[in-house]
């Protein structure tokens, strides 16, 4: 016999299934699908959602569903129907939205024994839920668009960063509300979203899914895949001293970072990766760059010189198809327009879905409110792999704009008081690599900070060199992924999340793209035929095409600042 009530404090929210009969494959019985997905004990909570059923039909479905849930010891809740919930044993809980009955009133009617959940879409709603203390858990979302709610438009999607802020708010002042992420979570988006929503103070307890299980004929396998992803995520957190350690951040990219090393290690690793990248056998990685039309030609030419294949497509309609073939994606807001912005959102979502590295270059990101809003929306809706910018651009995102002013797309007056601390904190906050470009370049994964003194002042005398650097860094990230894939047994698929066991990681990939560009600039500037900016541009393209592993070993001027 199942217990009459539930221990609400002991509920495991890892894989939270919300039912949706309308999403079942043709010919699949709802009850058979539910039992199948519970059969291997990979679903930990079930919510019965029946938006169109009459009360009596809903109650009948709920009773039959409860029999199945009880067989496997899985807690069950009712979505947004208080009368159906009250008609069932006290071990059955209720989930409500912000537009439904107030949570305090729901708790008064339900009593203290039933499990009660609340949907939260904003930091303010999370604060209220935490301070009231009436809900046992919160559903945080929508993280992405979803098949179950056609009315969710782009402006209502909170993305990874939005989820991170809400999750952080649910654990403050000694009070914590457990939470699950919801909205577009599936086998391709779950890992990135879990890690992207993790903050220094709190982490999601699980994921809520509908179509990722319900729409599959093999619902047991679908549940297994999701459970594996959540278990891997939680193991990563458990292995870390804090949620923001290197392990956690790297896992957001699905490529774990190795232990920190000295500068010679990174120099050698970058040289080896460049040698691999230059090989013709695996073909040049396709780099999609949604970038400034001012620098588009230069970026494309330098991508070709760096053994990558550029495609400068801004079109949202082809983003999903393109993403399947991409090595990496570059989002550059230099000449941002509504159409380009829509293309960036579509391309970023597709890249996350297909586990492709994403480089965000927030050109002039702190110069105007419009640009700040564009950057924030991109970070909210896309799990960025690397955030690249100058001091003013990154200071704006980090909340330190008072230290460095923007002058159009360039840094203006002022300088960062602690660039190492800023890039590390920003990497931890945004769950990504950060590259601060300038006279000294700073590259970090949130723990290890590398500096590079390579580069020539002529890079600052031509238009588009910074945009082109974003493309070469993206190609380096793609090369790191290609190397892992080429190792065969050194990489395995776990719930559609690539887990690498090799010693080359994305930090090295980014470093390779950075060093190739900056060393090439030094070699170009030394040429006798270079008289100034005009002759420097073709020389830079030539030298980037020729830069080699030996050049990195000989000329790289890097240092490990912090480990």
pLDDT value at residue 252: 38
Tell me the CATH class for 263-561: alpha beta
Dump the DSSP string for 412-425.
Answer: -S---S-HHHHHHH
Half-sphere exposure for 245 (CA within 13 Å, toward CB): 15
Judge whether 197 and 181 are in contact, CB under 8 Å. yes
Residue 242 per-residue DSSP state? S
Domains 15-239 and 263-561 share a fold: no
Q: Which two tokens stand for residue 557?
A: 């001027």
How far is residue 423 from each of residues 64, 467, 499, 545, measured CA to CA in Å?
54, 19, 26, 30
Q: How far is Cα 135 from Cα 101, in angstroms, rounded to an integer?
A: 13
Domain boundaries, the chain: 15-239, 263-561
Nearest Cα to Cα of residue 50 among 24, 81, 29, 91: 81
- Angle 249-255-261 from CA coordinates, rounded to 5°: 75
Dump the DSSP string for 42-88.
Answer: ---EEEE--SSS-HHHHHHHHHHHHHHHHHTT--EEEES-HHHHHTS
pLDDT value at residue 410: 52
End-to-end CA distance of the chain: 55
**Among all chains, which residue has been given the structure tokens 């066991």?**
501
Nearest Cα to Cα of residue 424 among 443, 407, 408, 441: 443
Q: Yes or no: is domain 15-239 CATH 3.30.450.20? A: no
pLDDT value at residue 402: 75
467 catalytic? Reply is yes
Q: Which of the residues 85, 160, 432, 467 is marked catalytic? A: 467
pLDDT value at residue 247: 32
pLDDT value at residue 187: 85
Q: Which two tokens stand for residue 451?
A: 């500096």
pTM beyond 0.75: no
Mean per-residue pLDDT pooled into runs of 10, the chain (563 residues): 81 97 96 98 97 94 98 97 97 96 96 97 96 97 71 67 92 95 88 83 96 97 94 77 37 44 93 91 89 93 96 91 93 91 88 86 90 86 89 90 61 73 89 93 93 97 95 96 72 30 69 98 97 96 97 97 67
pLDDT value at residue 261: 83
């Amino acid at each position: 016999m199942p217990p009459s009530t539930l221990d609400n404090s002991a509920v495991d929210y890892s894989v939270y299934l919300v039912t949706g009969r309308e999403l079942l494959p043709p010919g699949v019985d709802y009850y058979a699908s539910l039992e199948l997905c519970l059969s291997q004990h990979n679903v930990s909570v079930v919510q019965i959602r029946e938006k169109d059923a009459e009360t009596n039909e809903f109650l009948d479905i709920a009773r039959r569903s409860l029999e199945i849930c009880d067989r496997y010891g899985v807690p069950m809740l009712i979505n947004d129907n208080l009368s159906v919930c009250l008609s069932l044993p006290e071990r059955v809980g209720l989930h409500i939205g912000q537009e439904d009955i107030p949570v305090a009133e729901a708790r008064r009617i339900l009593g203290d024994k039933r499990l009660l959940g609340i949907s939260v879409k904003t930091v303010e709603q999370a604060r209220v839920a935490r301070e009231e203390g009436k809900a046992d858990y919160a559903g945080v979302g929508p993280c992405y668009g979803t098949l179950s709610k056609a009315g969710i438009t782009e402006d209502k999607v909170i993305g990874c960063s939005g989820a991170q802020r809400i999750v952080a708010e649910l654990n403050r002042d000694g009070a914590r509300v457990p939470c699950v992420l919801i909205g577009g979570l599936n086998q391709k988006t779950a890992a990135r979203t879990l890690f992207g929503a993790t903050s220094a103070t709190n982490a999601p307890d699980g994921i809520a899914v509908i179509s990722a299980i319900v729409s599959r004929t093999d619902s047991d396998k679908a549940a297994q895949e999701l459970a594996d992803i959540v278990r891997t995520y939680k193991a990563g957190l458990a292995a870390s001293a804090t949620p923001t350690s290197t392990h956690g951040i790297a896992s957001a990219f699905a490529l774990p970072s190795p232990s920190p090393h000295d500068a010679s290690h990174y120099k050698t690793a970058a040289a080896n990766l460049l040698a691999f990248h230059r090989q013709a056998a695996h073909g040049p990685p396709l780099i999609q760059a949604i970038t400034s039309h001012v620098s588009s030609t230069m970026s494309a030419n330098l991508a070709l010189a760096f053994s990558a294949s550029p495609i400068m497509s801004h079109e949202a309609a082809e983003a999903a198809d393109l993403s399947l073939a991409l090595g990496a994606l570059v989002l550059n807001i230099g000449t941002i327009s509504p159409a380009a912005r829509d293309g960036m959102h579509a391309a970023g979502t597709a890249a996350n879905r297909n586990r492709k590295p994403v480089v965000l270059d927030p050109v002039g990101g702190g110069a105007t409110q419009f640009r700040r809003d564009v950057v924030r929306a991109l970070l909210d809706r896309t799990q960025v792999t690397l955030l690249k910018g100058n001091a003013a651009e990154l200071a704006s995102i980090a909340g330190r704009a008072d230290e460095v002013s923007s002058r159009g797309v360039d840094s203006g007056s002022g300088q960062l008081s602690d660039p190492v601390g800023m890039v590390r904190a920003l990497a931890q906050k945004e769950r990504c690599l950060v590259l601060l470009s300038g006279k000294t370049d700073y590259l970090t994964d949130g723990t290890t900070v590398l500096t590079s003194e390579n580069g020539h002042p002529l890079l600052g005398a031509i238009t588009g060199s910074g945009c082109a650097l974003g493309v070469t860094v993206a190609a380096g990230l793609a090369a790191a992924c290609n190397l892992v894939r080429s190792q065969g047994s050194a990489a395995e698929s776990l719930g559609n999340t690539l887990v690498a066991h090799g010693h080359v990681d994305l930090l090295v990939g980014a470093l390779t793209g950075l060093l190739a560009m900056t060393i090439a600039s030094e070699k170009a500037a030394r040429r006798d035929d270079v008289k100034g900016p005009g002759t420097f541009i073709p020389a830079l393209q030539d030298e980037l095409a020729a830069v080699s592993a030996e050049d990195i070993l000989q000329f790289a001027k890097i240092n490990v600042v912090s480990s």
